[in-house]
Structure 1
Amino acid sequence: MEPFFYFGMMSFLMSVLVSCDPVPEGVVHMDCHERYFMIAVDRSFAGDEARFEAVDRTGVYAITKSYAASCGYSIAVLPSSSYLVLRASYFSCHTANQDDQVFTFNFNLLARRDGAEAVYALNKTCLPLLPWCPREVTCEVNYMEVSVRSEITCAAGTRKDDWNTLATAHSSSTSDWQVMFQTDVEPMAPMSLSDAREKGYVFELTDSRLIFRTPYGQPHSTISMVNGIPVEVVHATLFSRQSWFVIMVDLLAVCSIHEGTFEDGHVVFETPEALYPGSDATRLFVGLNTELLEPSVFAIEEDIVMMNGTVQIRIPVNMKGGHRKSFANDDLYEFYTFHLHLEQLFEDEEETRLRLHKMLVTPLLLHPLCTQNQTVVEDHMFTVYLGDIPDDVKLLSFQLNGHEMKWPPANTSSYTIVNVVQTNNEHGYMLKVPFDDPVVAQEFYTVHSVKYSLDINYTLRVLPENELYYHSFSVSALTDVSPPVLEAVCSETGITFRVHHRPFDFLWFLSVGSKALTSELAAQRGYTMTNDSAALQLLVPLFTQGFQYEDITLKGFLGTFELLVKERQTSAVQRSISKTCPFTSSEVIACSMDGRMTVLADLSLITPSGATPSRSNLLDVFCGPVEADNTKALFSFPLNGCSSKVELSKGDVIYENEIFYNSKHDGERVVVRCTYPLDGLHRLFSMHRFDSDSPGIGSIIHSSKQHKAAPLRATTAVKTRAPTTTRSEDVNAKLLASHGNVRYFRVLKGRKPHPDRRKGLFLQAVKQDFLYK
């Protein structure tokens, strides 16, 4: 075995032995394309410091930036993509080439994993499908490569430049291969291939091809303008003098170096239609990334323009196949990158195929986010949509009126925020916050309207760099202020009212009838009122003042209690909240607003043994119960009927009657009374109508022979007790006593008639009585 071959095999085996880590599925993609091999590695797996090594039988070679350009490799870390991409020419330095038909690639991927460097072996064999053209030119992103057939053919004619080169080659004193670079000025001095290799130029001879490769920007290259488009030209001539003749090979690389422009939402790239002098362009293929299509089926057919010897390609920024990347710097920006793959066929004496790989990048473009206030005031909730957010931008956190909120929110939160997927590789966030959430600011806009306001501050991060971008938005809503709504619940012993506090509740107050509901009133009437920071609760026990009773039967009755919501400034009633509940009791009395007393009384103490309450009666023996059972009797009668007694006392009118088992029974008795405030009566002692502002207060008094209730005098002999009456009440009482035949008398609230005007009051009463007959 040859020593050199043995050493090479050992180096290759050693490289394989250290590359023993298995490659996880899905993180590396390897594909064969016409004239190049591509590896794409997921950067989330490989990391930012990942790198490649080329492996052949002679050893392992690190692919650095300069080494890649001279040896036929290009490595791209796209800022808008999550992949690290390596492209290798079929004629790259360390590719195993079998008859220019089978190409085998071996690479090492070096990535840092768990704090240590891991080595992954990558290999692939590619077989090109298209036959090789006599001349093929590759314009890669970092180098130019020309390959020509190695068979020598005689040209039909010789140009002046060829004679100049031939003269220089003929004067050479060596038979080794040399290269001479030509420029528009004058030919340069020849140099050996080894000297050219040190300067970054590579010349290789395969079974059937001669390859020349050079990085861009070499000292021997020139920049020319062709139809206003910059192109880079490298013209190398290989020659060797053999006795009296010279072998000479002309190698010409011409590539457009147009960087692309941005116009009206399009990236525009231009290249000359015919790059080689004397050649005619025959076909054109264009693609993004790796797929090549003819213009007739290309997705942007209308954006390929060929005129005045120029090919202009316009790519919309939102076209599929491009990559976008966000960038945060006070505002949110974006830029797009496109891997343009262009292929042209030229015809002159031989066919030339030119392949161009170009990375086109837009300038930074402002990317405004879309914020929509979708609040419906009737829903009593803020609804805000933040949209048009690129996929590489995610929500990190947000604040509501300066309060840091959780993302994602807890299930117990009153607000919600959800991610909304859009169709154009963008997404958004829908935020909903109730008006009554504690973070929402409230202020009175007018007397009866409230302004709700919310300042939203989003903190977004751009991946993978985690750059922060802040977006703010403010919303407000104006709503009419409504009176409070009370909840009411029935119980066996009464009714419970509850009202939740709101910031603007001070605009109203609660009242029971004409009396404002205060802690003093509640204590006076026997209500139980509690008031904390959350709500006010009022327990109204049955039979306390303010209850109204209806549908009284022996089995039960309905009790109604009403609370009024009044405007604080005007005392106008804004809302009435009443609750009616069914109750059961052995006794109940109702004094109606239209002058009727309804009494359910327990008569078990006044009914003789063996008798029933159905034989009981009132002061008028002809006024019996409506219905009765073994112990109770139900009476319903007009206040001024059934021999009822009436008395004026301390601003009240008191009607009284008694329930007897019979008129001669001198034992236990039941006294029933209805008390009405005098200033709430509009028709007093009328034979036709009784009109009161409110129901009266009833009472049932059980008394024995030893403890009788103080009786009231008959209606025709009403006398008030002077020491406890006001001047007006005393005058009214005397007028009633003096004029017993008056059918109607109106008590004017708040007036105090002078004694000298008694005659006038009497005439007024008679006149009103006549009108109401």
Structure 2
Amino acid sequence: MVVMSLGCCFVLPFLNLLLVISVHCNNVPDGVQVECRDRYLWVSIEKPLADRIFQIEALDDTGVYPIMEKYASECGYTHTYDDASGNAILRASYLSCHTDNPTDEVFVFNFNLITSDQGAVSVPLSKTCTLSLPWSNREVICEHKYMEVSVRNVHCASNGETSNSSTSSVAHESATNGFKVLFLKGGEEVASLSIGDARMLGYVIDATAERIVFRAAYGQPHSEIKKINGIPVEVAHATVFFRRSWTVVMIDLTGACTSNLGSFDGEKLLWKTPMVMTPLLYDHSGFVSEHIRFGVKGQLLDDSTIRDWGYMLDISGDSVWIGVPYSANGGHRWSFVEDNTYSEYYWVSLYYEHVFMDGSGHLTRFRQVKKLTSPLLLQVPFTIDQTILEEHYFTVYLGNFPYDVELFDVVLNGEPFSVPEAIQSGYPIARVPHSNGTHAYVLRVPFEDPVVPKMYFSEGILQYSLNINYTLNIIPHDPYYHSASVIAQIKDVFPPDFNGVCTETGIIFKMDHQKLGYLWEIGIGHYPLTTELAAHRGYLLHNDSRRLTLEVPVFTLGYIYEDINLKQFFGTFEILSRDAKTLEIQKSAAKRCLFRTDELIVCSPDGVMTVVANVTAPLPEAEPSRATLTYENEILVNRGLFPEGAPVITRDADFRLTVQCYYPVHDFNQLFVDRKFKSETPGFGSINQASDLTVKHMPKQTTPPNDLLLRYCKEV
């Protein structure tokens, strides 16, 4: 029987042998993305799943190992969050502690994602990666919290000659008993430790098939900060040595990482690193730089992308400068609010690579992950009025915000709406994403919506105004308030213009319709001019798509009568143009015409009756100079007033002229309490003549639009 235990197993019968063949299987759960990159495994765990994970474990043949913060730095794991999405990010070095790495070319990762779903639930994750970029003689990676150095292993035979790669690594065989690590600091030896003792202090020294690996967290007691061209660099000077027969093998595993935090010039994040990392050179005189590249989020960018994003790379003397514009692609903006003061900072995870060679002829690939952060900056959101008058909509842009800011609600001219309520009420709110990861909001509100007030700013200019109060949430729960006001003015907007023409029997008004005619209400006194009102009062109304025509007979309600005498009087009728929303009077059109009549009654708002009556019409004739006015407001002419009889005052008259005025009750604001009569509108009157011989009526009067009438009689 041959048993190869490497992963998933398939059992095949072959003659009398049971052959168990093992292959590597990828297992990626839902909500997880995995990529094999040239020196590490990249795992992105979507936020809903990441929020439920409370522990990640690494697995190998020896057991299960929780990846806690300190352990992660020692064993080659980096755990961060992608601020743009909220996803959890795990980076695992190809040379991490628990990676199955038989040849330094194929790397098998196994993890357990422990979630809190109904207790602790283990979600397995496995992935196999193949080396895509050949190893350099020496590789140095400066991660967020640790440095990792790996060099090509040295294979030595007993006669001192180098053995071939198929020979088991001397260092690997001696890892438990032959390895020693020497630490230097300031050029002086500070410690010589066994591998086990070094591991107890947080250092990891390991051997793979082809490489020796050294890993240390930053800030270890055996490291030091050196200045190179004025730039602080953390250096861990470690040398591994072991004895083999007559030979002592020493391997330099020195790591050096720029500890410069970077700076901000108000526009760009700047990071400076030495061009020549001197602690990593054996022979300075033979230094050759092959290339310098950089990127973000653990991936290098091509030159065109760097130009498009506005990044900068400058090599000046012995230093390399990298600049990242504030809010550029590849970085993240993070928001804060305190006392309704909104601030934010911008950061980017820079990825820097320098490949160089020194006089020894050995190639070094140096990489560094560096988080650059701006200071906390005060931010004031801005609004842009994008209103197009022809659309009759306010369009207001509010921006720009990082991913962690969301619009929660709006108050439009004092009316509050949540975002869904605003959209449902006819005020669209659109979220506008930008290529640099920021976003904005665009709000649209119709001019003629009830929530929008309008006024006449000046002659012919109609002004709409919109006051907006935004409530923004700094995720998860910090509110921030921002206000904006916009106005829109439409020119050449005038209230309707009526042209009045006098006729013998009344006044005819004409008005041509305008494009914005819906902005106005045509009114007679307090009442809007409608077909119902016209029919009720006896007006003749005709309205089509081009013109409105209104004919108002002289004795219908709404006239004001002036300069009345026995032959003629003037009648004035007024039409009002009111704002359809506020009902404020914007324009009036009044026409004054001369009318002739021998009978007239005018009921004025102050309770005065003016009566013109022809008392010579009855038979026999009455003498006007002998007419009297009684308490009942009836003009009486008795037979005794004629020449053949003596004057007698009696209510039983041979001729009677009855005068009556009616006023709508709701138009009174004073009535008899202070013995003063006052109505908001003129009254409606009638004159009835009666005698033994004839009864004559004035033209029929229509009734006002209110059924509650007050008959008014005044004692004189």
**SS of the counterpart of 1:408?**
helix
Other-structure match for 2:90: 86
Describe the SS at the equivalent of 1:196: helix
Deviation at 1:287, TM superposition (A): 1.6
Which residue in the other structure is 1:766 paired with?
A: none
Is this contact kept in 1: 2:397–2:443, CA < 8 A? Answer: yes
Q: Identify the structure with the greater strand proportion.
A: 2
Structure 2 CA distance for aligned equivalents of residues 22 and 302 of structure 1:
35
- Which deviates the most, 94-103 or 80-89? 80-89
Secondary structure in 1 aligned to 2:70? helix
Deviations 1:334-373 (A, max 9, x none): 3333222222112121111112222222223333222234
- Give yes or no for contact 1:284–1:295 (8 Å, CA) kept in 2: no
Return the match for 2:267 from 256, 265, 268.
265
Cα distance change of structure 1 residues 74 and 537 upon mapping to structure 2, 3 Å threshold: same
In the alignment, the residues of structure 2 paired with residue 477 and residue 338 of structure 1 have an alpha-carbon distance, to the nearest angstrom, of 42
Which residue does 1:142 correspond to in 2?
Answer: 145
Relative to structure 1, is the Cα distance of residues 107 and 696 closer, same or farther in structure 2, using a 3 angstrom cutoff? farther
Equivalent position SS for 1:67: helix
After the TM superposition, which residues 292-303 of structure 1 pair with which residues of structure 2 at under 5 Å, given as runs? 292-293=300-301, 298-299=306-307, 303=312
8 Å CA contact 1:55, 1:108 repeated in 2: yes
Q: Which residue of 2 aligns with 1:248?
A: 250
- CA distance in structure 2 between the aligned counterparts of 1:220 and 1:461, rounded to whole angstroms: 46
**1:341-356 to 2 correspondence within 5 Å?**
341-348=351-358, 349=360, 350-356=362-368
Counterpart residue type for residue 429 of structure 1: V
Matched, 1:47 2:51: yes
SS at 2:252 equivalent: strand
Paired with 1:411 and 1:189, the residues of 2 have a C-alpha distance of: 69
Contact between 2:523 and 2:529, CA under 8 Å: does it hold in 1? no
Q: Is the 8 A contact 1:21 1:119 kept in 2?
A: no
Describe the shift of the 1:90–1:479 C-alpha distance in structure 2 as closer, same or farther (beyond 3 A). closer
Q: Which residue of the partner structure matches residue 539 of structure 1?
A: 533
Do the aligned partners of 2:469 and 2:482 also contact (CA within 8 Å) in 1? yes
Map 1:661-672; keep pairs closer than 5 Å: none
Residues 554, 571 of structure 2: 8 Å contact kept? no
Match of 1:304 among 313, 324, 327: 313
Residue 342 of structure 1 aligns to which amino acid in structure 2?
Answer: Y
Contact 1:400 1:454 in 2 (8 A): yes
The answer for the alignment partner of 1:386 in structure 2 is 398
Q: Partner of 2:354: helix, strand, or coil?
A: strand
Task: State the partner residue of 2:478.
Answer: 467
Structure with the larger RCO, 1 or 2 (CA within 8 Å, 6+ apart): 2
Q: For residues 37 and 459 of structure 2, what CA distance do their matches in structure 1 show?
A: 76
**Do 1:324 and 1:337's aligned partners in 2 also have CA atoms closer than 8 Å?**
yes
Moved more, 45-54 or 262-271: 45-54
Question: C-alpha displacement at 1:408, in angstroms?
Answer: 2.5
Alignment check: 8 A CA contact 1:222 1:233 kept: yes
The equivalent of 1:338 in structure 2 is 348
TM-fit CA distance, 1:175: 8.1
Say if 2:324 is the partner of 1:288: no
State the AA in 2 paired with 1:262: F
1:230 maps to which of 232, 241, 245: 232
Q: Which residue in 2 is equivalent to 1:437? A: 450
CA contact (8 A) 1:295 1:301 kept: no
Say whether the 8 Å CA contact 2:27–2:125 is kept in structure 1.
Answer: no
Report matched runs for 1:167-246 at 5 Å: 176-241=178-243, 246=248
Change (3 A) 1:322 1:153: farther
Q: Does the aligned pair in 1 maintain the 2:28–2:126 contact within 8 Å?
A: no
The equivalent of 2:369 in structure 1 is 357
Choose which of 408, 411, 421 in structure 2 pairs with 1:409: 421
Q: 2:132 aligns with which of 126, 129, 132?
A: 129
Cα pair distance change 1:378/1:698, threshold 3 Å: farther
Give the deviation of 1:721 after TM superposition: 3.6
User: 1:722 matched to which residue of 2?
Assistant: 625
Report the RMSD for the aligned CA atoms in angstroms: 4.9
Look up the SS of the partner of 2:116 in the other structure: strand
For the structure 1 residues 698 and 31, does the alpha-carbon distance in structure 2 shift closer, same or farther, using more than 3 Å as the test?
farther
Q: Per-residue deviation at 1:255?
A: 1.3
Q: Which amino acid letter does the alignment assign opposite residue 270 of structure 1?
A: K
**Secondary structure at 1:218 match in 2:** coil
Structure 1 pair 285–92 and aligned structure 2 pair: CA distance change class (3 A): same
Q: Distance in 1 between matches of 2:497 and 2:570?
A: 33
Partner of residue 322, structure 1: 331
Cα drift, residue 50 of structure 1? 3.9
Do 2:58 and 2:111's aligned partners in 1 also have CA atoms closer than 8 Å?
A: yes
Q: Secondary structure at the match of 1:187?
A: strand
Structure 2 segments unaligned to the other structure (5+ residues): 10-25, 158-175, 499-507, 511-520, 556-563, 573-591, 600-613, 630-716
Map 1:548-567 → 2, pairs under 5 A: 559=540
Separation (CA, whole Å) in 2 of partners of 1:181 and 1:589: 116
Secondary structure (helix, strand or coil) at the match of 2:101 reads strand
- 1:239 maps to a residue whose letter is F
Which residue of 2 is the match for residue 522 of structure 1?
A: none
For the residues of structure 2 that align with 1:678 and 1:66, how far apart are their CA atoms? 103
Q: Report Cα offsets for 1:276-306 as digits up to 9, x if no partner.
A: 3324322222222243246587436872111
Tell me by how many angstroms 1:694 deviates: 4.0
Residue 42 of structure 2, aligned match among 38, 44, 47: 38
Q: Which residue of 1 aligns with 2:440?
A: 427
Distance 1:21 1:99 in 2: 22
Aligned pair in 2 of structure 1 residues 478, 243: CA closer, same or farther (>3 Å)? closer
C-alpha deviation, 1:377, in angstroms: 8.6
Output the amino acid matched with 1:52: I
Is the CA contact (8 Å cut-off) linking 2:355 and 2:364 kept in structure 1?
yes
TM-score by length of 1: 0.57
CA contact 1:46–1:112 (8 Å) conserved in 2: no
Shift, 1:38, TM fit: 1.1
Q: Deviations over 1:540-575 (max 9, x none)?
A: 45895xx6xxxxxxxxxxx5699xxxxxxxxxxxxx
Measured after TM superposition, the shift of residue 247 of structure 1 is 3.1
Worse-matched range after superposition: 56-65 or 468-477: 468-477
SS at match of 1:197: helix
Q: Structure 1 residues 287 and 540, CA, compared in 2 at 3 Å: closer, same or farther?
A: closer
Q: Deviations for 1:36-67, whole angstroms, at most 9, x for unmatched residues? A: 11111112332175431101122111000000
d(CA) in 2 for partners of 1:83 and 1:261? Answer: 28
SS in 2 for 1:191: strand
**Greater C-alpha radius of gyration:** 1
- In the aligned structure 2, how far is the partner of 1:472 from the partner of 1:335? 22
Structure 2 contact 333–403 (Cα < 8 Å) conserved: no
Letter in 1 for 2:483: S
Alignment-mate amino acid for residue 426 of structure 1: H
State how many pairs are aligned: 514
Contact 2:616 2:623 in 1 (8 A): no
CA distance in 2, matches of 1:543, 1:120: 84
- Compared CA separation, residues 411 and 449, structure 1 to 2 (3 A): same
The 5 A counterparts of 1:507-586 are 539-541=533-535, 559=540, 578-579=549-550
* Aligned residue identity for 1:36: Y
The one-letter code of the counterpart of 2:130 is L
537 and 406 in structure 1: CA distance in 2 versus 1, 3 angstrom threshold: farther
Which one is further off, 337-346 or 174-183?
174-183
SS where residue 204 of structure 1 aligns?
Answer: strand
Counterpart-to-counterpart distance in 1, 2:238 and 2:125: 35
More helix by share: 1
